[in-house]
Amino acid sequence: MIDLHSHTTASDGQHSPEELFTMAAAAGVTVLAVTDHDTVAGLAAAQAAAAARGVELVPGIELSAFVLGREAHILGHFLRPEDPDIARFADTLRAEREQRMKQMVEKMRKLGFPVRMEDVYALAEDAHLGRPHLARVLVEKGWCVDTKDAFDRFLGNGRPAWVDRYRLEGADAIQLIRSAGGTATLAHPGSSKMNRAEIALLAKAGLAGLEVLHADHNPSVREKYMALAREFGLVVTAGSDFHGEKVAPGRHLGMASMPPELFQKLRARASA
């Protein structure tokens, strides 16, 4: 099985790279991409863990970007983790994410929930901070039933504790990935409600793939984006978007997989 979308404790995943690749091997996954949000900090440990367990690692990242004002997540695959531009961007986003978290915590406190940044730090440890960390704190405190409840009531876009993020344009995200030797793929286009015009713009900017086979896409959604992939010459990719059962219940490693020939086609598009 080839799964090109997963997360570790370097961002908002529940499991360490070592745990992730132990689970991947047990699930029969032969190729796994680690695509943490806005960071490559987990890739060194992931490489060692993958080699020890006989699983091929695809080094990656997931960048939060915007296209015509809509949030879009761009996956980078086959990139060079040591690329200096990626490292500088990750450092910038780490600081921005921490400031954003402080603002969300303050909003929660004003809503009557005495959450503290110390609670978030204790759970996230050294990870790049993200809303799922705060959501898990709210669940652990008994203020929300699960992380979905936390997002629906407080943390989702436009909800009472939501704070807007740094706005990286989609074309710039693609360029950043390509300059690090990678391929750029639009993640979960159905869940993000991406339309034809937005995908056309990204394709013109150098998009290589479309994550049609995402864990959350039903057959009709997959059919819609399969047609758009054909129209714009994009490689159809697959990803479970695995974060761990405490973060995204119901998602499992390898639940979305792609044929080896499509994987090789995507690899061939990696920048020299």
pLDDT at 173 exceeding the cut of 80: yes
State how many domains the chain has: 2
Residue 97 maps to a domain? no
Which run of H or E residues covers position 46? helix 43-53
Residue 146 maps to a domain? yes
The pLDDT of residue 271 is: 67
Output the CA torsion sign for 154, 10, 235, 272. positive
Give tens-digit pLDDT for 254-267.
999 999 999 999 99
Q: Can you give the residue range of the structural domain that contains 131?
A: 102-155
Structure tokens at 2: 């080839």
Alpha-carbon distance of 103 to 232, in angstroms, equals 40
Give tens-digit pLDDT for 16-37.
999 999 999 999 999 999 999 9
Say if residue 47 is in the same domain as residue 143. no
Say if residue 172 is in the same domain as residue 232. yes
Give tens-digit pLDDT for 183-236.
999 999 999 999 999 999 999 999 999 999 998 999 999 999 999 999 999 999
Last residue of a domain, one of 131, 155, 179: 155
- Please state the pTM of the whole predicted model: 0.84
